Amino acid sequence: VSTGVPFSGVRWPSLQPTASAAFVQVLLHGGLPRAEIARKLGLSRASLTRITKDLVLADLLTEGPTEQRSATGRPSEILFVNKAAHHFLGIKLTGDTLYSVVTDLQANIVGLKNVPLVNHSVADVIGQIADVTREHAARFPRLTSIGVALAGYVEHDGSRSILHDSAYLGWDSVPLGEMVEKATGYACAVENDVQALTAVERWSRIDQGVEPMALITIGVGLGFGFVVNQELVRGAHGRSGKLSHVPVDQSGPLCDRGHHGCASSYLPNGAIANAAGTPGGYQDALLLARSGEPVALAAFMSAGYALGVLIGHVSNMLDPAKIVLTGDGLPLYELAESRVNDGIAATLESDAGPVNLDVQPFDFSEWARAAAALAIFATVS
């Protein structure tokens, strides 16, 4: 990282590729017996001993208790991530707020700060990112790198990350990673927010055999992410996961692209507020619907049905083991679960696999945590 700002954190140690791969395995699974690491990477016991010694010396792994392995009958020591050795800053940008968290090496949140954006100018938002970084770095001297997640698609061109079509900020062709590095002195990874969230949700379920896994986010926008063979599907151009304009009911309201009754004419928070006729926006619509006001409630019911149609299509196309549902629009599910199920039933093919929906409680710091996890994996691998 070339920068005019002095780096004040802790640098990631320089590791051999095999040592990095061994560390990633322990990190992914939260702790692994030595024998298991050797098996996963096809290493001899001798080379594994050398590698783990280096990782312990680099302060990245600690040795835990010994576990009796039934397969070999030989005891195998468990290695754990030394999670406090490094901290990472995750930032999620929406159209009006900078959400930030600091996490340890296992993406546990240890610090948090949210600030309203002063405006949408790239330079001013970068300035706010630099201010927040300085504040966190003063409290967390082991800060190592930064991840930024936001709407839009990110072109990875060598070590550069160029952000395109970021709708809520109105940004296009912005070399965001490089700009954050220059302003803060820390290495910075940038990713589409839904893809970053899908990656962290996959990480937290990696030992559950949930494969393939889909993720749908509802809220200000609609998002879709998909993991197959433990890998996030980014598409050939980083533009996968577009579900916003799937048709639901052709006699429905108009969306901003002129479709009648597509998913985005019912489902995003703004569409719900429009249908509820609440000038104060989504939060007003939610209060009214919860109090049983019929127009607002009907808006949530229609949105619930549209969500069910999307879930049905995702199940038909991909047969996922699990569909994780999350996002700031989650109150919709609580109000209209029966209509979600109606939409699924109307869409699901008779010979499709069962729908296994995992409703994941949400707050905005979860997006920022996903950005921190992005920074962790960009740094370690």
Which spans of this chain sit near Zn ion (rule: CB under 5 A)? 245, 255, 257, 259, 262, 264
CB-nearer residue toward Zn ion: 221 or 320: 221
CB-nearer residue toward Zn ion: 177 or 343: 343
CB of 195 to Zn ion, least distance (A): 22
| CA 78 from centre of chain | 29
CA dihedral 124, 112, 163, 264 (to 10 degrees): -110
CB of 367 to Zn ion, least distance (A): 24
Give the number of other Cβ atoms within 10 Å of residue 25's Cβ. Answer: 15
CB-nearer residue toward Zn ion: 86 or 259: 259
In 170-276, where do the E strands start and end? 187-192, 213-217, 223-228, 231-232
DSSP element (H, E) containing 31: none
Q: By the 8 A CB rule, do 225 and 212 touch?
A: no
CB-nearer residue toward Zn ion: 136 or 259: 259
CB-nearer residue toward Zn ion: 125 or 262: 262
CB-nearer residue toward Zn ion: 87 or 259: 259
CB-nearer residue toward Zn ion: 30 or 253: 253
Closest CA to 149 of 132, 130, 166: 166
Give the number of other Cβ atoms within 10 Å of residue 147's Cβ. Answer: 30
CB of 264 to Zn ion, least distance (A): 5
CB of 319 to Zn ion, least distance (A): 26
Closest CA to 191 of 182, 203, 200: 200
Integer Rg of the chain from CA: 23
CB-nearer residue toward Zn ion: 124 or 165: 165
CB-nearer residue toward Zn ion: 160 or 257: 257
CB of 262 to Zn ion, least distance (A): 3
In 143-222, where do the E strands start and end? 143-150, 153-157, 160-164, 187-192, 213-217
CB of 265 to Zn ion, least distance (A): 6
CB of 271 to Zn ion, least distance (A): 10
| C-alpha pair distances (Å), 290 with each of 118, 293, 296, 299, 307 | 33, 8, 9, 12, 19
d(CA 29, CA 223) in angstroms, rounded, equals: 26
| CA 251 from centre of chain | 35
d(CA 93, CA 182) in angstroms, rounded, equals: 18
CB of 302 to Zn ion, least distance (A): 14
CB of 242 to Zn ion, least distance (A): 11
Vertex 180, ends 175 and 186: CA angle to 5°? 130
* Amino acid, single-letter form, for residue 285: A
CB of 263 to Zn ion, least distance (A): 7
CB-nearer residue toward Zn ion: 148 or 262: 262
Q: What is the DSSP letter of 50?
A: H
Closest CA to 149 of 183, 108, 100: 100
Strand partners, 33: 78
Three-class SS of residue 165? coil
